Amino acid sequence: MKKLKICLISLTVSPDMVDGEAKVIKALFEYLKKQGHSVKLLTGKWNKELDIPDIIQFNLIRKRFLWVLHFYLQVIRYLRRNKFDIVHANSAKAAFPVILSGQKKFICAIHDFTPFETQLTKFPLEKLLIKFISKRASSIVTVSNFVKQEFQHFIPNIDKDKIETIYNGIDEKYIPYPTRAQKLREKLKIYGPILLYIGRITRYKGVEGIIEAFKLVKSDNPNVNLVIGGKPDFLMKKEYNDWVENYKDVRFLGFIPEADIPFYFSMGDIFITYSSSSEGFGLTSLEAISCGTPVICSEISVYKEILEDHAIFVPPNNPIKLAEKINLLLSDDDLRNQLVRNAQEYIKKYSWNAVGKRLESVYEEFTSP
């Protein structure tokens, strides 16, 4: 295909932030650059200066709500001064300033319908924004068929033909690191089996259920450990601090630099992700399997679509059942090894090369007369 001038817009980007959307947009940026496209990525600066050519980090007013307006004004100004073949926003929030800039055609990624399924705030602004952006976008990309199908429920009158599914990919750095994993165990002074959770700590992620299941497992197996990496969102800060104070046998690591995450995945004996709803994909599960760690996850539709039979599934909000599956997997080395071994060929379809080619085909159709 012809080489395009592309503008990607995302509130966050890795490694400044390590949420799933931040990692996805960084990987897409790198793939498109390798294919020879001219790419700019507009984002906010949250933790660190990336100093990566063509990633433009806007300084933000670090106050609740004000940062949004500040980010929007800078994106609008940039888009009005520069012309692109493709403007691709990484969320509905990131797409709003595209409309305000006067851009007529744009692509928007909708990763999930969290605001529709989980009450994050008392105000439905984000739900209204997703509906508004979805109708205005020229093309929509989703990260799973599950999310694509959810449009029929939450925004039933949308044009279905403009929605395309493009799965997320696994970065090549997610491979087993047994030596680094052993050194990490020694550094953390952890002995015995490790249950691992890495991700955002918000209500629907089910982290409290993981802790409850760990307590049940530990009553029979006192050598088991639980390691939790990630930062709480605004609504969970107090509860998270209470956990840190009250659960002294749980290792709360807080923020983990992205470069170190493969070593933590390699260190775990079981990776657990236990969302009750509102997942669009489930990238951390694939990353853990790629690092050689078997996965237990909640029995929600999107995980079954993405993982098929390469994980152990447990009903959400059921710590007793979760504890049973943890005990099963810890006691059966053959099952753990089989889950990981059988998954290795399957997860090749989530390479960024395969994902990037799919995105380029969407871009080609978008720019065709």
Beta-carbon neighbour count of residue 314 at 10 Å? 24
The pTM of this model reads 0.87
Which residue, 220, 237, 336, is CA-closest to 289? 336
- Which pLDDT score, from 0 to 100, does residue 185 have? 96
Give mean pLDDT in consecutive 10-residue pieces for the chain, a chain of 369 residues.
95 87 94 97 92 93 80 96 97 96 96 79 78 96 94 92 94 95 96 95 92 96 96 89 96 92 97 87 94 96 94 96 97 95 92 93 92
- What pLDDT, on the 0 to 100 scale, is given for residue 121? 54
Phi, psi angle pair for 118, to nearest 5°: -135, 130
Spatial CB neighbours of 368, under 8 Å, sequence gap ≥ 6: none
Sheet harboring 312-314: ordered strands across?
Answer: 250-254, 225-229, 194-198, 270-273, 295-298, 312-314
> For position 119, what pLDDT does the model report?
63
Tell how far CA 121 is from the center of its chain.
20
3-state secondary structure 4-42: CEEEEECCCCCCCCCCHHHHHHHHHHHHHHHCCCEEEEE
Domains and CATH numbers, the chain: 5-169+351-367 (3.40.50.2000), 178-348 (3.40.50.2000)
Look-up: residue for tokens 């931040």?
A: 22
How does pLDDT run across 51-92, given as a tens digit for each residue? Answer: 999 999 998 887 767 888 999 999 999 999 999 999 999 999
Cis before 124? omega within 30? no
Q: Is 234 helix (H, G, I), strand (E, B) or coil?
A: helix
pLDDT of residue 204: 86
The pair of three-digit structure tokens given for residue 152, joined into one six-digit string:
């029929």
